[in-house]
Structure 1
Amino acid sequence: MYNPAHFAVTDQAALYDLIRHAPLGMLVTHGPDGLDANHIPWELQQGPEGTDRLIGHMARANPLCQQLQQGGDVLVVFRAEQGYISPNWYPSKHATHRQVPTWNYRVVHVHGRVALRDDEKFVRGVVGRLTRTHEQQAQAMAPHPAGAWKMGDAEPAYLQQMLSAIVGLEVEIVRLEGKFKLGQNRSAEDREGAADWLDKGQQTQLAACMRLANPATP
């Protein structure tokens, strides 16, 4: 992707934080019918150096199950906060009238090698870990009187039927690209002005990210 130096992020911890914060990644592949994109929730697993990977699953009925080449190159795109930025939000616009609209966002591109994992133990583990992680988050946001859902809550035969309908995915991480476009090329005053208007529009997370970004100009 086009990634000017003032937007490029190379800090692995920051990139991994985004993946954990926004785990629905777009898996981009190239097969016999051309480019394809599938949206999959991923688990990030860190191992010894050079062995980090993304773990997920997809429907067995997805044609990608037959099209994927074991060890083939793939791209997984993660996107977090994003939003339109109006020129009117920059104080300098009202003095110079030399600003145009833009879009701010945070994204991570994961380049890797993919493998299908079609064994019940692997798939059960993927679903179990994803469930625990996201049920805890759901309970934190909106506690349900029944508590967090567990795989054991499902009737065993039904659960087995559901598990048999999916296939595991494993992406060995080869390279990371991060682009946090948060107004770093703007003055501190303009970036703060835009963040204030984002707050007024209830886009508080994007506003907070902009305030944390280091400006390139005073």
Structure 2
Amino acid sequence: MYTPPAFREDRPEVLRAIMRAARLALLVSAAPDGGAPEATHLPLLLDEAEGPHGTLYGHLAKANPQWKGLAAAGVARAVFPGPEAYVSPSLYAAKREHGRVVPTWNYVAVHAIGPVEVFEDPARLHAVVARLTDRHESARAEPWAVTDAPAPFVAGQLKGIVGIALRIGTLIGKRKLSQNRAEADREGVIAGLAASDDPADRAVAGAMREG
């Protein structure tokens, strides 16, 4: 990910917060035959206790050929998207002053890169599925748990997936939020996005206010 110094984000707590907030990540890896890279959209669980940057856990369908490429390559990249918004030149104070402005896009993203392990052990798979489920069910008034389903049914479902564990070796964070613009331009973008009907625009305005 191209990250100019003005947009680079290195604070560990900020990077982890972005990763936790991204409900769906993108797992990218090399194809085993040297073809186009493979990618799967999937939820990933960050275990901060494992390794210097943590370890990501998730699972793929066994019918998804990417897991074989992962096993062969031994390394992968997980992309965590944050808020994003189109920025119109009309929001800049500079547009009214001299007009030398162009459109852009503001966004937040984190890329996690590292060695990846593929596993099929039923106990490990069960633990990953249970932890992911608990995380995404926790906000519900009556959370569903893996133990709510019959154990033989769950065991059968586990046979159709493979687990992945990506030990993060490198974290690249980017918060492209108009840091390269004059303060008046930044304030114009914040005001414009905050007034938008689109919740994604308002999320970017909030990220810009946070600095």
Same fold (TM over 0.5): yes
CA separation in 2, counterparts of 1:15 and 1:68? 24
Q: How far apart in 1 are the matches of 2:52 and 2:143?
A: 34
TM-score, scaled relative to structure 2: 0.91
For residue 105 of structure 1, the aligned residue among 87, 104, 107 is 107
Structure 1 segment 178-189 matched on structure 2, within 5 A: 178-189=173-184
- What is aligned with 1:216? none
Alignment of structure 1 residues 27-176 onto 2, 5 Å: 27-31=27-31, 32=33, 33-47=35-49, 49-50=51-52, 52-69=54-71, 72-137=74-139, 139=140, 143=141, 147-176=142-171
SS at match of 2:3: coil
> Contact 1:79–1:108 (CA<8 Å) still a contact in 2?
yes
Contact 2:76–2:115 (Cα < 8 Å) also in 1 = yes
Q: What letter is aligned with 2:176? A: K
Quote the residue 2:209 is aligned against. Answer: 211
Q: Determine helix, strand or coil for the equivalent of 2:194.
A: helix
Whether the 8 Å contact between 2:108 and 2:176 is mirrored in structure 1 is yes
- Equivalent residue pairs, number: 206
Identify which range, 109-118 or 151-160, moves more after superposition: 151-160
Q: Distance in 2 between matches of 1:206 and 1:39?
A: 23
TM-score by length of 1: 0.89
Which stretches in structure 2 are left out of the alignment for 5+ residues?
A: none
Matched, 1:24 2:24: yes
- Post-superposition Cα deviations, 1:58-90, rounded to whole Å, max 9, x if no partner, equal 101111232223671211111110010000011
- RMSD of Structure 2 on Structure 1 (CA): 1.6
Q: 1:166 to 1:49 in 2, by over 3 A?
A: closer
Q: Distance in 2 between matches of 1:157 and 1:118?
A: 17
Identity of aligned residues (%): 35
Unaligned runs of 5+ in 1: 214-218
